Amino acid sequence: MTTLTLRRRLWLSRIDYLFLIPGLLIFGAFILWPMLASFYYSTLDWTGFGENAKFVGLKNFTDLLHDEFFYAAFRRSFSFMLMTVPIQMLLALVLAIILNNKLLKLSTFFRAMIFLPVVTPVAVIGIIMVLLLSPFNGPINGLLLDTGLVTRVVDFLGSPTIVLWTLAVIYVWKWTGITLIYWLAALQTVPDELYEAAKLDGVKSWQVMVYMVMPIIAPFAGVIALISAINALNVFPLIQSTTQGGPFFSSEVMEVYIFRTAFAPASGQFPRLGYASAAGVIFGLSIIALTIVQAILMRRIRRKEPTHG
């Protein structure tokens, strides 16, 4: 058997590599280049508009370490993730189990209804939610008052104590449909024979779920959690279209913080693209770290699983 040289192997697969080029170009232009540019910009004292960029090394990073609003936004981003992902996963799982029942009438209709918010633009949802939740003429407050559940209007998006929870509920409502699809895909991997065998053996439905289905779909949970967690850290459009991070920064997550410092500073301030890039780099690295930790945990869990056969 002859061993092909690397060059020869590349040549033989040239058509395959040719097909990769468009994808690589797009990846380079829209992923790789912005990432590298962010690293570079993070070393500059630069508004992003003028020609007066000045190299400052790691000063932006050291300044960030003394910025309480950066810490607050960073903490808020991960709080938001913890507020949404478990509820979203659990809710989607329950709905997926119900809707996976082929005997359930209108299951396709319900799936479509639950998925509808996913395909609705976030900005549209943001505007509609501002109107629905309005404390002075919003129907939700009207309903709460008319039914006597509250005696004074609730400022869902203007109260610093509940604004993040309000946004979390909107977020979960908006994105549960996509998690539902993931769970449904996972449930499709459970063989029909298993259900039939369980039925013949007289196993109860909850036992089928807990002892048979769950162990099979459990490995998918890690992947779904990872995807959901990363999505929950990317909530800029929802927050920008509803609260812009307010009131007084109480819903300012990292992306809004980065946007504010880079492009929309308060009156009397001017943009700091270098500083915002440094914040973006730290946030990006923390997400990568989260991904790595999750991958390591998944691997350990799999190793502990008993082998079948």
Residues at the site binding another protein, with contacts judged by CB under 8 A: 47-52, 69, 130-131, 134-138, 141-142, 145-146, 152-153, 155, 157-160, 243-244, 246-250, 263-271
CB of 28 to another protein, least distance (A): 20
- b/e map of 171-209 (b: 16 or more CB within 10 Å)? bbebbbbbbbbbbbebbeebeeeeeeebeeeeeeeeebe
CB of 252 to another protein, least distance (A): 11
Q: Alpha-carbon distance 272 to 47, whole Å?
A: 5
* Consecutive H or E run containing 259: helix 254-262
Structural contact between residues 183 and 88, judged by C-beta atoms closer than 8 angstroms: no
- What residue type is assigned to position 211 of the chain? Y
- In this structure, what token pair is assigned to residue 242? 């509803």
The residue among 3 and 137 lying less far from another protein, judged by its C-beta, is: 137
Q: Alpha-carbon distance 214 to 149, whole Å?
A: 38
Q: Alpha-carbon distance 274 to 37, whole Å?
A: 10
The residue among 51 and 192 lying less far from another protein, judged by its C-beta, is: 51
Q: Alpha-carbon distance 242 to 252, whole Å?
A: 11
CB of 46 to another protein, least distance (A): 10
CB of 271 to another protein, least distance (A): 6
The residue among 68 and 201 lying less far from another protein, judged by its C-beta, is: 68
CB of 114 to another protein, least distance (A): 27
The residue among 153 and 212 lying less far from another protein, judged by its C-beta, is: 153
The residue among 9 and 54 lying less far from another protein, judged by its C-beta, is: 54
CB of 162 to another protein, least distance (A): 12
Q: Alpha-carbon distance 119 to 142, whole Å?
A: 28
Structural contact between residues 15 and 29, judged by C-beta atoms closer than 8 angstroms: no
The residue among 161 and 307 lying less far from another protein, judged by its C-beta, is: 161
